Amino acid sequence: MRRFIKAPLAILAEGAEGGLVVEDGRIAALVPAGAAPPHDIDETFDASSHVVLPGLINTHHHFYQTLTRAFPPALNRELFPWLTALYPVWARLDPEKLALAATTAMAELMLSGCTTTTDHHYLFPAGLDGAIDIEIAAAERLGMRVVMTRGSMNLSQKDGGLPPDHVVQDADAILADSARLLAAHHDPSPHAMVQIALAPCSPFSVTRDLMKESATLARAHGARLHTHLAETLDEEDFCVARFGMRPVDYLEDVGWLADDVWLAHGIHFPPADQQRLAKAGVGITHCACSNMILGSGHCPVHALEAAGCPVGLGVDGSASQDASNLMQEVRHAFLLQRHHYGVTSISHLDALRWATVGSARCIGRADALGRIDVGMAADLALFTLDELRFAGHGDPIAALVNCGAHRADRVMIAGRWTVIDGTLIGLDIPRLIADQQAAARALQA
């Protein structure tokens, strides 16, 4: 099937004002304004009322947390007490609840224009050993492109960590399952639908040895590494007290100061550390909404990019962010960074770049994802401007960010429509909402 997406209202690509041609899951041609497509076409979609973006890429999430949105005991708390309130609830996760949570998170992401997502799952209570397999199965049902990060925690309260003893795993079990997942699911090819990364959770929940061994294992399989770092000053104090060094020094000590690593949050990096991270090629995921809700601080995105760090966006978990809408995250990141750095330093195009090219660089996929160009994956998000919020707009692409777009009209992943007329194909949303709410009530009881 050769599809022509014709004459978009606006498109975030040069030389494609007349549209683009999709074939075999990839972009086969860009069509300049007034030109005809260079091939015979099987199907034409009139995009004259649509703004076309590269599919948005979410580089940090915790799917299971869609079951604990706005959880009363965790409201209005900073990160460490917030986690302490939620660990006992999350420990009751089971396969059915996780499948619902993952489906809910990915459905919400896709409806917001997201075509590729990561997930950082680090909770494996009894009976949930196959958590990553469950999430991959949900992604395949939805047709979403994913990088599933096998998270881990092995440093519990009895050993001086933050998590309670019953939510951590033995390091040998973690590494064995990580190796199994890499062998079974990791596809290193540029257009892969499923990849695996290894993601020890944080300095306060994993041991130094597990950080080192995870890096060795991931690199043996050509996989990437991910963790939380420099999210709060409490974390920095923990690193100094336990390891005798600050977070970036610790990252270097365990062999993670490298270009196959991306970090969630990256708030408390002084300028010298920003330069070290940039020199090593470490990526940073900016989680604007989560950072604001938890009051964790301000990620210095402009300074990190100026230093040379790849910067992407992540919605983070739906218990801290309380949503999985990446287009809304674009706007909030835009507003937060502009408030901090000023009007002349941050534009709507910067925010869209973070969610596309920047995110693709963070997860090591910039050769196939994040841009509309020949040979790139046919992952696209199409938005209409027919809501009241857009009435009177000028620049259509700026309107998406400035006026608060939040729902895509159409989404294409690997050349296949997965969202049409704002509806996910093949998914009963009312039933999903009802089942998810019932599961959340049971988990929180």
Same domain for 329 and 252:
yes
CATH code for the domain in which residue 380 is found = 2.30.40.10
pLDDT number for residue 82: 94
Same domain for 264 and 411:
no
Same domain for 134 and 24:
no
One-letter amino acid for residue 18 of the chain: G
Residue 39 predicted with pLDDT over 90: no
pLDDT digits (tens, 9 = 90+) for 236-273: 999 999 999 999 999 999 999 999 999 999 999 999 99
Residues contacting residue 276 through CB under 8 Å, at least 6 positions apart? 248, 252, 257
Same domain for 213 and 133:
yes
One-letter amino acid for residue 248 of the chain: V
Alpha-carbon 383 to chain mean position = 20
Same domain for 37 and 119:
no
* Alpha carbon distance 52, 12 (integer Å): 6
Domain count, the chain: 2
Q: Which domain holds residue 158?
A: 56-362
Same domain for 236 and 335:
yes
Supply the mean pLDDT for the chain.
97
Q: For residue 126, is it within any domain?
A: yes
Same domain for 102 and 228:
yes
Same domain for 380 and 254:
no
**Can you say whether residue 245 is alpha, beta or left, with left for phi > 0 and alpha for psi between -120 and 50 degrees?**
beta
pLDDT digits (tens, 9 = 90+) for 364-409: 999 999 999 999 999 999 999 999 999 999 999 999 999 999 999 9
Residues 134-157, mean pLDDT to the nearest whole number? 97
CATH code for the domain in which residue 61 is found = 3.20.20.140
Same domain for 100 and 199:
yes
Pairing verdict, β 410-413 and 380-384: antiparallel
Same domain for 192 and 318:
yes
Residues 351-373, mean pLDDT to the nearest whole number? 98
Same domain for 265 and 164:
yes
pLDDT number for residue 429: 97
Same domain for 83 and 228:
yes
pLDDT digits (tens, 9 = 90+) for 53-77: 999 999 999 999 999 999 999 999 9
